Amino acid sequence: MSSPQGLACPRLPAPPARLAEAALFLDLDGVLAPLAPTPDAVGPEPRRTRTLTQLTQALGGRVAVVSGRTLAEIDRIVDGAASAASGVHGLERRRADGALSARAPAPSVRTAVAAFEDFAQNRPGVIVEDKGLSAGLHFRQAPNEAAAALTLATALADQTGLTLQPGSMVLELKTPGADKGVAVAAFMTEPPFNGATPVMVGDDLTDEAGFRAAEALGGFGVLVGPERPTAARYRLENVEAVLDWLGALASSAAEEKEARA
């Protein structure tokens, strides 16, 4: 088990197989979908869609996808199976009832996009992602550019006041003011999430704020992937293990719901 300060012990246990009154907050890439060479290489997958649909029904709607992707990309990849969702690291959010809220984009995001595009121009494999509220610089296909990308992104963050958000082979400069923890906390004040036990499932450094928020609200985080220092209390090995666990949760929640009926 890890401490709230993020000091990890050598092994984190698997999360409980049964959870009463859970509210699930699920990252997308690396959690519900395998990491891919490029952002647009990830698409809908029948098992993922089916599992999310069953889980949402069994938990009375207490399931939200909380991702660095935009809401439009979340909807495309999960094939519309998540009514509640937060995109761009908490900067845009759709409540379970469909109501939308979003921060206004910082004007300097345009500066970051232009600088990233200049950087990528003569570097094969480097990809720029313009999310409106943020600018992403992906170098999964050009890992030798990592140091130069970090130097550029750090300088731009200092210059523009944008928030530097490191991820898995990506650096993102985003409009300040929110993160995944802010999104989790906001969902937990609203139906159908309020009063439930929050569980944040994520794989990346961007998910640590979500882990901490879940823990502070009486729940816990689940790290997906290799062991590392984390605020999560439990761990699952990979996307396949996540889908297996979510499927088991959906089944147990449905059984409990039927027994109470």
**Res. 3: pLDDT tops 80:** no
Contacts 24+ apart (CB under 8 A), 92-99: 92/133, 93/183, 93/186, 93/187, 95/187, 95/190, 96/61, 96/64, 96/190, 96/191, 96/192, 96/193, 97/191
Residues 80 and 182 in one domain: yes
Residues 193 and 254 in one domain: yes
pLDDT of residue 202: 98
Residues 63 and 165 in one domain: no
Nearest CA among 5, 7, 131, 8 for reference residue 67: 131
pLDDT of residue 4: 44
pLDDT of residue 1: 40
Q: What percent of the chain has pLDDT over 70?
A: 95
Domain boundary among 126, 154, 174: 174
**Res. 7: pLDDT tops 50:** no
CATH of residue 203: 3.40.50.1000
Residues 79 and 195 in one domain: yes
Residue 35 lies in a domain: yes
pLDDT of residue 25: 98
Q: What number is the average pLDDT over the span 19-24?
A: 91
Q: What number is the average pLDDT over the span 202-211?
A: 96
Catalytic residue among 27, 75, 203, 204: 27
CA distance readout (Å), 233 to 4, 57, 205: 9, 26, 15
Domain boundary among 152, 174, 196: 174
The span from the first CA to the last CA of the chain, in angstroms, equals 36
Active site residue 27: yes
Residue 11 lies in a domain: no
pLDDT of residue 226: 94
Residues 169 and 195 in one domain: no
Residue 8 lies in a domain: no
CA distance readout (Å), 105 to 47, 92, 109, 156, 175: 35, 10, 7, 16, 6
Peptide bond connecting 176 to the previous residue in cis, omega within 30 degrees of 0: no
Residue pair 70/131 in contact (Cβ under 8 Å)? The answer is: yes
User: Which pLDDT band holds residue 6 (cuts at 50, 70, 90)?
Assistant: very low
pLDDT of residue 261: 65
pLDDT tens-digit map of 182-201: 999 999 999 999 999 999 99
Residues 30 and 143 in one domain: no
Residues 248 and 121 in one domain: no
pLDDT tens-digit map of 158-183: 999 999 999 989 999 999 999 999 99
Residues 228 and 208 in one domain: yes
Residues 137 and 230 in one domain: no
**Which residue type does 239 have?**
V
**Which residue type does 43 have?**
G
Residues 89 and 186 in one domain: yes
**Res. 5: pLDDT tops 80:** no
Residues 94 and 219 in one domain: yes
The whole domain housing 187 covers 22-103+178-260
pLDDT tens-digit map of 96-142: 999 999 999 999 999 999 999 999 999 999 999 999 999 999 999 99
> How many domains does the chain fold into?
2
Judge if pTM exceeds 0.85: yes
pLDDT tens-digit map of 39-92: 899 999 999 999 999 999 999 999 999 999 999 999 999 999 999 999 999 999
Residue 165 lies in a domain: yes
Mean pLDDT rounded to a whole number for the chain:
93
In angstroms, rounded to a whole number, what is the distance separating the alpha carbons of residues 10 and 232? 13
Domain boundary among 117, 143, 174: 174
CATH of residue 169: 3.30.70.1020
Residue 10 lies in a domain: no
